Structure 1
Amino acid sequence: MNPFSIINPSTDEEICQVEEGTKDDLDKTIEAAKKGFQYDSPWRKLDPAARAQLIHKLADLLPRVVDYL
C-alpha cells in the first residue's frame, strides 16, 4: 500500500490520507462509470432528484465505515 496525503490548498493542512489505487482499481472504476451511464442503465433513467437523494444517503453512511475503508 502506498498512502499519500490530501492537503487543503487554502490552509496547507492535511485533510486525510488515502491509498494509491492500482491500474486494476482504475479500470474497474471506469467500467462501472460506463455501465452507470449506458442508455438502458437504471441509474441513468433515475430522476436526478432521486439520484441526489441516494448520493446524500451514501455521504451520510460513509462516516460509519471510514475506518474500514
Structure 2
Amino acid sequence: MFKIDALPDVPRWAVLAAHTVPLVTVPSGLWRIAQVAGLPVAAQGVCYLPLLAWAPLLAATTVVYYRRRTTVL
C-alpha cells in the first residue's frame, strides 16, 4: 500500500477524494484535445462519466472544509 501525505486531522476518505479529482478530469482533457485535433472519438451521445463523479467529490470536499472551519480548537 502506498503512503498518502496529508495534514494530521484530515480524514483518509477526504485525502483519497482529493487525489481522485485529477484522475477523473484527465479523460475529459484528453477527449477535448482529441476533438480539437480532429481525431475520431466515441459517439457524441455517450454518457459522460467524469461529469457524474463531480457532484459526490465536491460534496465530500465541501463537508470536510466546513467541518474543519467550524471546529473550535
TM-score scaled to structure 1, two decimals?
Answer: 0.30
Q: Which has the higher strand share?
A: 1
TM-score scaled to structure 2, two decimals?
Answer: 0.29
Give the structure, 1 or 2, with the largest relative contact order (CA under 8 Å, sep 6 or more). Answer: 2
Return the index of the structure with the highest Cα Rg: 2
